[in-house]
Amino acid sequence: MGYVLGARAGRERYDQIVQATKKLREHPAVAQLTDQAVGLIDAGRHVIAGGLSAGGRGLRAVAEDDRSHRRTS
């Protein structure tokens, strides 16, 4: 994002944007929020992965049940 903003304004402005971004990322409050966000994303990713896995098992069970009913019919 800094590149796009700074590219039109010139190299000096680009360098200012890059430095401000680095300084912001190093601020303790921002670092803490970043860590919390990463933790939430990881937790959500595990929940979604578990749900997909459970959904896959459920679909497999339905398909196997359907196959067994077709054989007996």
Residue ranges per structural domain of the chain: 2-72
Closest by alpha carbon to 2, among 19, 27, 26, 23? 19
* DSSP per residue, 24-67: HHHSHHHHHHHHHHHHHHHHHHHHHHHHHHHHHHHHHHHHHHHH
pLDDT range class, residue 37, cuts 50, 70, 90 = very high
* pLDDT higher than threshold 60 for residue 3: no
Backbone angles phi, psi at 52, to 5 degrees: -65, -40
pLDDT score of 11: 84
Check if the beta carbon of residue 24 is closer than 8 Å to that of residue 30: yes
Q: Rounded to two decimals, what is the model's pTM?
A: 0.45
The average pLDDT across 31-42 equals: 90
Of 15 and 54, the one with more pLDDT: 15
